[in-house]
Amino acid sequence: MAALAGEIFINENLTPKSWVGIIIVSISLLIILKKGNDFKESNFPLSEKNNFKIFAFPFLSVLCAVLGGLLSRIVFLQSNLSPFLTTEIRLLGAIIFLITLKGFKIDFFLKNIAKKQQKRFLLSILLGTNIGILLQQIVFKTLPIGIGWTLLSTSPVISLIFAKNEEREITKKIIFFTFSLFFGLTLIIL
């Protein structure tokens, strides 16, 4: 979606090799994520009866995220704003939105945390959020939206490192499609 949006709205042309890489990464991610999430558990609220919701909500989430990335890319192409400044503008917008939601208070998050840990918790949120969005903005400033979005979308693969801790099984199929994903990334980058 991001690559198509880039071609349609801001005339970014990707090579056929990049398109093949994007398709390989997308298919690999879908298979890895589908294998990691078992929607057929009997106690899971989204059963097979609700297949529409299983696919519609993630699709809408990706669509909104791609539109946000596209807007960021357009801003970088048409202005001299830095990734740092756009990060702070995005976070300011989020803070204003949260404040307008029924008097949002930070105390809500801190109630169950010991006093000694509260400062470290707030610092990690502040740094983690700022650094994460800053890196995302750097990607949108320096790469075409399709390639940048493909690179950003590979982050769920990092969760495979923690799969054993969550007692999830890493099958040969997941390993194969993880290598397939990195092959697709190689096609995009080279």
Domain-embedded: residue 175 = yes
For helices 145-152 and 115-142, what crossing angle results, to 10°? 150
Domain-embedded: residue 178 = yes
List % helix, strand, coil for the chain (3-state, nearest 5): 75, 0, 25
pLDDT in tens, 13-41: 888 888 888 888 888 877 777 765 544 44
What is the domain extent for residue 138? Answer: 2-38+50-189
The C-alpha angle with vertex 5 and arms to 28 and 180, in degrees rounded to 5, equals 15
Domain-embedded: residue 44 = no
- pLDDT (0 to 100) of residue 40: 42
- pLDDT (0 to 100) of residue 36: 53
pLDDT at 155 over 50: yes
Average pLDDT of the chain is 78
Domain-embedded: residue 45 = no
Domain-embedded: residue 8 = yes
Domain-embedded: residue 43 = no
Neighbours of 26 (CB within 10 A): 16
Sign of the four-CA dihedral 64, 9, 138, 92 = negative
pLDDT at 55 over 80: no
Could you tell me where the DSSP H helices lie in 14-114? 16-36, 51-78, 83-100, 107-110
Q: Is the pTM of this model over 0.85?
A: no
Domain-embedded: residue 19 = yes
Total tally of structural domains belonging to the chain: 1
Sign of the four-CA dihedral 27, 65, 139, 170 = negative
- pLDDT (0 to 100) of residue 79: 92
Burial degree of 166 (CB within 10 A; 0-12, 13-18, 19+)? exposed
pLDDT in tens, 119-138: 777 787 778 788 888 988 99
- pLDDT (0 to 100) of residue 104: 60
Backbone angles phi, psi at 175, to 5 degrees: -60, -45
Domain-embedded: residue 94 = yes
Chain-centre distance for alpha carbon 110:
26
Cα–Cα nearest to 21, from 136, 149, 142: 149
Sign of the four-CA dihedral 160, 165, 168, 169 = positive
